[in-house]
Structure 1
């Protein structure tokens, strides 16, 4: 069978995890030839996120250094699947669409697939200010990296595990999302973007719109004009060499 790791960063998402895990179509994926593991990264939560995730059958990774990018670094470090899929633990991303997305990935021979939330049918699921900011950042990202991606901020990606070791992704925070897309497309991997349904968030909003937006803006320019480097042994980016900091259960 093919192997799939679904990596989900979570900060105080205990109340959302049952609904999120309930949308992962494990049986349908198995019927389509995919053996699935769900990796939930507990990003220093102060609620029962880790206990709830474990009870629901997820593999739990503890990442004490907060930050969206830090959470993904920990999750990717322990993921065992040949393909990795991502999405947030806030009920917004359609994990139930994974069978169709994976079928497209295989049929189109894609190495990195990202998703587009910024179409009219999703307007009600996103605050107007966030919708406008996402469009603005995405337009700037397209201008700087010339990859044609409509949604540089989407948090749902599906990619072949092997490409991760060829990417130099450095962001510890929310800019990780745009950076992994721009790194994958400029590295020459076969990529595509597909539209998805985006759903209303459950629970508390974690995004700090102004500081996160400014950090993303700075990162776009830093990434576009930086020297490539910072790689460790065997050409692997230094921050992605395996670390004992991440405790998985």
Structure 2
């Protein structure tokens, strides 16, 4: 079956050829340009990807625009910065395709020095621990490579349009009784500078967004 792959994109011109050139057969890339000032959109189009323009800035805004644009029954999300290998998308989507899971995340395993800065890794570890306690889902990573069915994701009613979007997806899926799992995927040094994990400021901004989502979706006592 065809799988739509949503790639939120902000100034990833240098990485797109590597990413799109490794897309598996049957996996259809949707590059969501979120206000790039480089040639990201033109490069993506030249390489055969569908390009969606989302003028509202924010990681969640880009992800959700891609979800709304997708038409395949199954969708995947992944970063467009070459830190994740698209050839591993079938590893993440397999359980959903087989009916054994509803939301599957790729647990990142660093494969080179510098792939995952210490401050970002520590923040992710703390967040994953909080998620396990809150949801019971066996997650060690809030991985950006993930797979689920499009219609079911839309029914979750995701509202965050910033860095809290991936977390909100997991929290709402757990509340809805979804089967949530993770599989290991390679984590590579990204091409160019990260907007989030590459800087302490970016990491703190993401953590603030996620804390807000955790508080807003806190179960009633």
Residue aligned with 2:158, SS = coil
Which one of the candidate residues 183, 197, 209 is aligned to 2:172?
183
Deviation at 1:108, TM superposition (A): 5.1
Is this contact kept in 2: 1:145–1:224, CA < 8 A? no
Is this contact kept in 2: 1:137–1:217, CA < 8 A? no
Matched, 1:212 2:202: no
TM-score by length of 2: 0.90
CA distance in 2, matches of 1:13, 1:193: 26
Is this contact kept in 1: 2:110–2:116, CA < 8 A? no
CA distance in 2, matches of 1:162, 1:122: 36
CA distance in 2, matches of 1:105, 1:143: 24
Matched, 1:127 2:117: yes
Other-structure match for 2:199: none
CA distance in 2, matches of 1:187, 1:109: 16
Is this contact kept in 2: 1:9–1:72, CA < 8 A? yes
Aligned residue pairs: how many? 215
Query: CA 1:169/1:122 → structure 2, altered by over 3 Å: closer, same or farther?
Result: farther
Is this contact kept in 2: 1:147–1:185, CA < 8 A? yes
Matched, 1:144 2:101: no
Matched, 1:78 2:69: yes
Larger gyration radius, structure 1 or structure 2: 1
Query: CA 1:151/1:122 → structure 2, altered by over 3 Å: closer, same or farther?
Result: farther
Other-structure match for 1:25: 24
Query: CA 1:185/1:94 → structure 2, altered by over 3 Å: closer, same or farther?
Result: farther
Deviation at 1:101, TM superposition (A): 3.1
RMSD of aligned Cα (Å): 1.8
Query: CA 1:164/1:103 → structure 2, altered by over 3 Å: closer, same or farther?
Result: closer
Is this contact kept in 2: 1:83–1:160, CA < 8 A? yes
Gaps of 5+ in 1: 27-34, 227-249
Is this contact kept in 1: 2:101–2:179, CA < 8 A? yes
Gaps of 5+ in 2: 197-201
Other-structure match for 2:33: 42
TM-score by length of 1: 0.80
Is this contact kept in 1: 2:76–2:93, CA < 8 A? no
CA distance in 2, matches of 1:144, 1:151: 14
